[in-house]
Structure 1
């Protein structure tokens, strides 16, 4: 080893460290995928605790018992999430047929402009019934597996809600346990890193929720003023899509433009595109810097890579969890950099 030049030895050392870290990360990811029914509720509960902790702290400062305060917070979550879910579902149910019809009209218009490709699309539509009958057995089995997946998601949601209760009530006890498990004299560092990571997730969740509400309100008002059908449903889609940065805004904005193009023509579609772009500019240059100024600022490339990695590991749930977990990782790195420059 000493026969090698110094730069080569340093490169070999860094390669060994990279391989070791990559191996540990790969093992952790595989374990998380294997035990996803346990890991996913824990991660969702951490996100829920980060979002609901201000309400819990306010109740505790009002001399409410910690267990009672955690119970009230979870009950408030059920009421709020249930109410919002009911409103969103009602809007999508009322607007769903209009949106589907508009998208179908847009597809037909594209087929008409596409010439030969349009004929292929029409042939595909004509043979759709034959294809459905051919793969009917597969569809039936998929329905059965889909029911089991829904049941699994419901079980994970219930477990996540119960974990939110315990995370809120026993957060101080968890920190004391972390300090006990920290080796040597690293208890203060471990607690500081944990607090910084949780604060990054907390700020990200609160800021994203507020930004999603503002985006959905502005775009819904714009769609209503332009008389675009299904405005409430499209606004609900914008609100949900805001939790997947960049990609969610692109998909919801594209759907809104296509619906406007199919029902109101090119001029209104351009106006809708202008509204969507204006809201995105407002979000990028005003809302993000002001609302999330105290959280970890992540480069868009890092966010896109995190979303892609999350989708490849755990699908839609991975896409939702990827950015908050990346925010926690960035918060941890910033804390370590401040302590060990």
Structure 2
């Protein structure tokens, strides 16, 4: 190695580091895929704990016992999440036929506007029922598999809820356990890194929920003013899609514009597009800096790469988990850079 020039040795060292890190990441991803029934509930429980931590801490400050506070928090999350799911599902069921019919008419309109280029959209809309029938037949022939998937999902949801309870109740013990596992002299650094990662996830979850609610409310009000059919259901789609940054907002906004185009014409569709764009501008320039100003803010390119990687590993669930996991990784990187990236002169400072 000494015979090689210094730049070549540095390049070789960096290549070795990249290969080692890539190999570790690949092995971890494969192991997570093999043990997904245990890994997914833990990740969901961590997200739930990050979102519900402030409520649990408030209950403890007002004198509620730690275990009782954790139980009340879990009951609250079941009530809130159950109510939100009921509202979203009811809105989508009530307005689903209107939305689908409007999308079909929009596809036909695009087919007339663009000729042969839009024929495929028209054909897709015309044969949507046939495609759904084929998928339904496949699902019916594999009913046992479908029941097992539903049972597995319910089991993971129950396990995640139980883990949320224990994570909330035993958070102080977790810190002690983490410090006991740290190598000699590294307990403080490990605790600070773990806290920074959790704070990043906590800020992301709280901020995303607040922003999703504001975006969905504003877009729903705008669509109601424009008399776009299915406005409540479209607002529900916006709320759910907000947890998949950029991609979710693009898809839900495109659906809203297409529905407006089919039922209200080009002028109203342009107004609906203006509403969606205005809300996204408000999101990017006001809500994101204000609501998530204390969290790790990632570049859009990093978010899109994380979404792509999550989708390739675990589909839609991977897309939902990719961004908070990446936020935690960014938090760890920032903490390590703050501690060890200041150069050798930092250790000589008084």
RMSD of Structure 2 on Structure 1 (CA): 2.0
C-alpha spacing 1:129/1:337, structure 2 compared with 1 (3 Å): closer
- Higher mean C-alpha deviation, range 80-89 or range 126-135: 126-135
SS at match of 2:214: helix
In the aligned structure 2, how far is the partner of 1:128 from the partner of 1:283? 34
Q: Distance in 2 between matches of 1:148 and 1:24?
A: 32
Number of aligned residue pairs: give it.
341
Q: CA deviation at 1:83?
A: 1.1
Instruction: Note if contact 2:107-2:122 (Cα within 8 Å) is conserved in structure 1.
Output: no
- Aligned to 2:22, what secondary structure does the other structure show? helix
Matches within 5 A, 1:60-209: 60-116=60-116, 138-209=138-209
Q: Counterpart in 2 of 1:289?
A: 289
Relative to structure 1, is the Cα distance of residues 128 and 297 closer, same or farther in structure 2, using a 3 angstrom cutoff? closer
Partner of 1:40: 40
Deviation at 1:108, TM superposition (A): 1.9
Residue 325, structure 1, aligned to residue 325, structure 2 = yes
CA distance in 2, matches of 1:214, 1:29: 34
1:216 lines up with 2:216 in the alignment: yes
Q: Is the 8 A contact 2:193 2:332 kept in 1?
A: yes
Q: Normalising by the residue count of structure 1, what TM-score does the alignment of the two structures yield?
A: 0.95
User: Measured at CA, do residues 137 and 252 of structure 1 come closer, stay the same or move farther in structure 2, by a change above 3 Å?
Assistant: closer
- Give the C-alpha shift of residue 115 in structure 1: 3.5
Cα drift, residue 118 of structure 1: 6.0
SS in 1 for 2:175: helix
Alpha carbons of structure 1 residues 265 and 24: separation in structure 2 relative to 1, 3 Å: same
Contact map agreement 2:311 2:319 (CA 8 A) in 1: yes
Q: For 2:129 and 2:93, how far apart are their aligned partners in 1?
A: 25
Q: Where in structure 1 do 4 or more consecutive aligned residues deviate above 4 Å?
A: 116-137
Structure 1, unmatched stretches of 5+, are: none
Distance in 2 (alpha carbons) for counterparts of 1:213 and 1:124 = 32
Gaps of 5+ in 2: 342-350
Q: Deviations over 1:225-276 (max 9, x none)?
A: 0000000000000000000000000000000000000000000000000000
Q: 1:205 to 1:136 in 2, by over 3 A?
A: closer
Change (3 A) 1:8 1:127: closer
Counterpart of 1:54 in structure 2 is 54
SS in 2 for 1:112: helix
